[in-house]
Amino acid sequence: MSNSLKKRKAKDIIAAVFARSFLIFIIFLALLIIFGLFLKARPILSIVSLPELLFSSSWHPMKNEFGLFPFIIGTIEVTLLAMIIALPICMLTSIYLSEYAKRRFREISRFFIDILAGIPSVVYGLCGILVVVPFVEFTGELIGIQTTGYSLLAGGIVLAVMVIPFIVSISMEVLRMVPEPYRESALALGATRWETVKYVILKKARSGLIAATVLGFARAFGETMAVLMVVGNVAQVPKSVFDAAYPLPALIANNYGEVMSIPLYDAALMSAALILMLIVTIFSLTAHYALLKLGKTI
Amino acid sequence: MSRIKIKQLSISYGNHQVLKNVSLDIPDRQIIAVIGPSGCGKTTLLKSMNRLLDLNEDVAVKGEIFIDGENIYRPDIDVTALRKRVGFLPQHPYPLPMSIFDNVAFGPKIHGLDISSTPAVSGAQEETGKKEGMRRFVEHYLSLAGLWDEVKDRLHSPAAKLSIGQQQRLALARVLSIEPEIILADEPTSALDPISAKLVETQFKILKQDYTIIFVTHILRQAKRLADYIIFLYMGDLVEHATAGQFFSEPRDEKTRAYITGEIS
Query: CA–CA separation, A227 vs A155, rounded Å?
Result: 5
Residue B173 lies in a domain: no
Domain check: are A28 and A76 in the same one? no
Q: Are residues A234 and A90 in the same domain?
A: yes
Give the 3-state secondary structure of residue A276: helix
Residues B83 and B189 in one domain: yes
Same domain, A97 and A39: no
Are A88 and A24 contained in the same domain? no
Q: Is B5 on the interface with A (CB under 8 A)?
A: no
pLDDT interval class at A60 (50, 70, 90) = confident
User: Does A184 share its domain with A286?
Assistant: yes
Chain A: residue nearest B89 by CA? Answer: A185
Q: At what angle do helices B125-144 and B194-207 cross, to 10 degrees?
A: 130
A36 shares its domain with A72: no
pLDDT value for B113: 80
Determine, for residues A185 and B111 on separate chains, whether the beta-carbon distance falls below 8 Å: no
Mean pLDDT in residue range B71-79: 93
Beta bridge partners of B4: B26, B67
Among partner residues B94, B98, B178, which is closest to A190 by beta-carbon distance?
B178
pLDDT digits (tens, 9 = 90+) for A69-126: 999 999 999 999 999 999 999 999 999 999 999 999 999 999 999 999 999 999 999 9
Residues linked to residue B241 through DSSP beta bridges, in sequence order: B231
Which residues on chain B are in Cβ contact (under 8 Å) with A102?
Answer: 57
Asked if B96 lies within 8 A of A183 by C-beta distance, the reply is: no
* Chain A CB within 8 Å of residue B57 CB: yes
Q: Output the pLDDT for position B123.
A: 55
B55 to chain A nearest CA, in Å? 8
- Closest partner residue to A189 (CB to CB) among B97, B98, B174 is B174
Dist CA B99 CA B159 (whole Å): 5
| Number of domains within chain A | 2
Give the mean model confidence (pLDDT) for residues A245-257. 90
Q: Which residues of A touch B80 (CB under 8 A)?
A: 190-192
The answer as to whether A61 is a domain residue is: no
Residue B103 has what pLDDT?
A: 95
Pick the more confident residue, B132 or A136: A136
- For this complex, say whether ipTM is above 0.90: no
Tell me, yes or no, whether A182 and A281 share the same domain: yes
Nearest CA-CA partner of B61 in B89, B25, B22, B4: B22
CA angle B76, B79, B83 (to 5 degrees): 150
Q: Rounded to an integer, what distance in angstroms lies between the CA atom of residue A31 and that of residue A24?
A: 11
Whether residue B7 sits in one domain with residue B129: no
Question: Based on the domain organization, do B255 and B205 belong to the same domain?
Answer: yes
* Chain A touched by B97 (CB under 8 Å): yes
- Quick check: B264 contacting A, CB < 8 Å? no
Whole-number average pLDDT of chain B: 90
Q: Check residue A187 and give its pLDDT.
A: 94
Q: For B107, which of A102, A181, A189 is closest by C-beta distance? A: A189
Which CATH number is B233's domain given?
A: 3.40.50.300
Decide if B145 is inside a domain.
yes
**B114 and B71 within one domain:** no
Q: What is the pLDDT of residue B124?
A: 55
CA distance A280 to A33: 14
Q: Report yes or no on B122 lying in a domain.
A: yes
For residue A222, what pLDDT is reported?
83
B148 within domain boundaries: yes
**CA distance linking residue B205 with residue B29, whole number of Å:** 11
**Residues A123 and A266 occupy one common structural domain:** yes
Count of C-beta atoms within a 10 Å radius of residue B136: 18
List chain B residues with CB under 8 Å of A186.
96, 106
Cβ distance of B55 and A180 shorter than 8 Å: yes
Residues B85 and B101 in one domain: no
Same domain, A33 and A114: no
Instruction: State residue B183's pLDDT score.
Output: 94
pLDDT mean over A181-198: 94
Question: Which residue of chain A is at minimal alpha-carbon distance from B58?
Answer: A103
Distance from A206 to chain B by nearest Cα, in Å?
Answer: 11
Q: Given an 8 Å threshold on Cβ–Cβ distance, is A188 in contact with B88?
A: yes
How many domains does chain B contain in total? Answer: 2
Q: B185 and B86: one domain?
A: yes
In the prediction, which pLDDT does A207 show? 86
pLDDT more than 90, % of chain B: 69
How remote is the C-alpha of A245 from its chain's centroid?
18
By Cβ distance, the residue of B81, B94, B107 closest to A182 is: B94
pLDDT value at position A295? 63
d(CA B17, CA B31): 27
- Asked whether residue B27 falls in the same domain as residue B151, the answer is no
Is A60 part of any domain?
no
Residue A52 lies in a domain: no
Q: In terms of domains, do A206 and A92 share one?
A: yes
pLDDT in tens, B184-219: 999 999 888 888 889 889 989 998 988 999 999 989
For residue A139, which phi and psi values (nearest 5 degrees)?
Answer: -60, -40
Could you give the CA distance from residue A102 to residue B92 in angstroms, rounded to a whole number?
Answer: 26
pLDDT of residue A78: 94
Q: How does residue A257 score in pLDDT terms, banded at 50, 70 and 90?
A: confident
Provide, as residue numbers in chain A, all residues whose Cβ is less than 8 Å from the Cβ of B96.
Answer: 182, 185-186, 199-200
Distance CA A75, CA A78 (A): 5
When pLDDT is averaged across residues A276-285 and rounded to a whole number, the result is 87
Domain co-membership, A172 together with A76: yes
**B20 vs A109: CA distance, rounded Å:** 36
* Gap between the Cα atoms of A27 and A251, Å rounded: 28
Q: How far apart are the first and last CA of chain A?
A: 48
Residues B124 and B255 reside in one and the same domain: no
pLDDT at A149 over 80: yes
Do the beta carbons of residue B151 and residue B162 sit within 8 Å? yes
Interface of A with B (CB under 8 A): 102-103, 179-192, 195, 199-200, 203-204
Mutate to test the interface with A, among B43, B54, B86, B110 (most CBs of A within 10 A): B110
Domain assignment of residue B17, yes or no: yes
Q: Is the pLDDT of residue A202 over 90?
A: yes
Q: Decide if A212 contacts A174 (C-beta within 8 A).
A: yes
According to DSSP, the β-strands at B182-186 and B86-89 are parallel
C-beta separation of B44 from B19 below 8 A: yes
B187 and B256 assigned to the same domain: yes
Give yes or no: residues B69 and B135 share one domain: no
Q: What is the CATH number of the domain that holds A167?
A: 1.10.3720.10
- Closest Cα of chain B to A203: distance in Å? 7
Q: Are residues B9 and B84 in the same domain?
A: yes
- What are the pLDDT digits (tens) for B173-183? 999 999 899 99
User: Does residue B54 contact residue B37 with C-beta atoms inside 8 Å?
Assistant: no
Indicate whether B175 belongs to any domain.
no
Residue A58 is assigned to a structural domain of this protein: no
| Predicted local distance difference test score (pLDDT) of residue B119 | 65
Chain segment B111-157, per-residue pLDDT in tens: 888 777 666 666 555 556 778 888 999 999 999 888 999 999 999 99
Domain C-terminal end among B161, B191, B207: B161
pLDDT value of position B67: 94
Half-sphere exposure of B30 (CA within 13 A, CB side): 20
Residue from B60, B73, B99 nearest B7 by CA: B73
Name the residue among A103, A189, A203 with its Cβ closest to that of B57: A103
User: Where in the sequence is the domain holding A154, given as residue range(s)?
Assistant: 68-297
Which pLDDT band, with edges at 50, 70 and 90, does A260 fall under?
low
List the domain range (segments joined by +) for residue B156.
96-161
Same domain, A120 and A7: no
The residue from B104, B130, B161 where one domain ends is B161
* Strand ranges for chain B from DSSP E: 2-13, 16-27, 31-35, 59-67, 70-71, 86-89, 182-186, 212-216, 229-234, 237-243
Cα dihedral: A185, A191, A195, A198 (round 10): -10
Nearest to A187 among B83, B111, B178 (CB): B83
